[in-house]
Amino acid sequence: MSHTERTTGCRCSDYKTQQPNAILFNILSQSQCHSLSCSPAPPRGCHCERSVSLATPSETAHLATGVLLKTLRFMRSLPSFQNLPLGDQLSLLRLGWGPAFILGLAQEGVDFQVTDRPAGRMLKQILLEGQGGRGLGDGRDTPTLAAVHKLKACLHRLWGLDLTPKEYAYLKGAVLFNPDVPQLESGQFVAGLQQEAQLALREVVTPLHPHDTGRFARILLATSALRSINQNFLIELFFRPLIGPADLFELLVEMLFSP
């Protein structure tokens, strides 16, 4: 029988009933799964490392694709991004599309459920791994329940902040203009753009929540966690059913720079 993500007996599967503070406590607590992934010796009955796939792949992949297209349109709408050297644009896209996409999922309120991978696919994966393969046998990472929990924790923290469209827009700018991306030709300029986005975010947050002096810091903290989500995991979970063996980054480049 297929197990859903709420598999009984797994202490990591109760994130839906937790508030953000409780989630943060569990992340920090050594008695729980480390960083929402199972510890080296998971508790008996823990299913965190179970391979999973979308419970409704057609519907969820359609929603995720819509979010991804909006993310690309957002990038194209930024003159500051378009005016960067092409190499810098590609580098920022390669490492920044994932966090911006997750912000889009949160903004659009996209929720999803997962289920166990079909037994046939799991057996094929095991056999390929036994022959020296990895993941799905072609260098790709199989989505696990632990990775899903980690992503959902990020989404729930963002939803708990009840961000406005302007806050989401400036956050996307802040994660896109990442000066820590290696070998940027215009690194200092990108750092300035990130600072501008964060300053604009603060100017929106302060009048909306004048008595909540910690809100700006909580928003940045919630956003910093997005970089810990593996982009390959996002590809395999949301887009592989649609694109097959195609390289998603090549598709992103084609869509972003097409006339």
Asked, for residue 70, whether it belongs to a domain, the answer is yes
| Structural domain contains residue 1 | no
Tell me whether residue 252 is in a domain: yes
Give the burial class of 38: count Cβ atoms within 10 A of its Cβ; 0-12 exposed, 13-18 middle, 19 or more buried: buried
pLDDT of residue 28: 37
Report if residue 236 sits inside a domain: yes
pTM strictly above 0.85: no
b/e map 18-30, b = 16+ CB within 10 Å: eebeebbebeeee
| CATH code of the domain in which 132 resides | 1.10.565.10
Query: What domain range includes position 120?
Result: 11-257
Judge whether residue 11 has pLDDT over 50. Answer: no
pLDDT band for position 146 (cuts 50, 70, 90): very high
pLDDT of 203 above 50: yes
**Number of domains the chain contains:** 1
Q: Is residue 123 part of a domain?
A: yes
Mean pLDDT on 140-162: 93
Identify whether 186 is part of a domain: yes
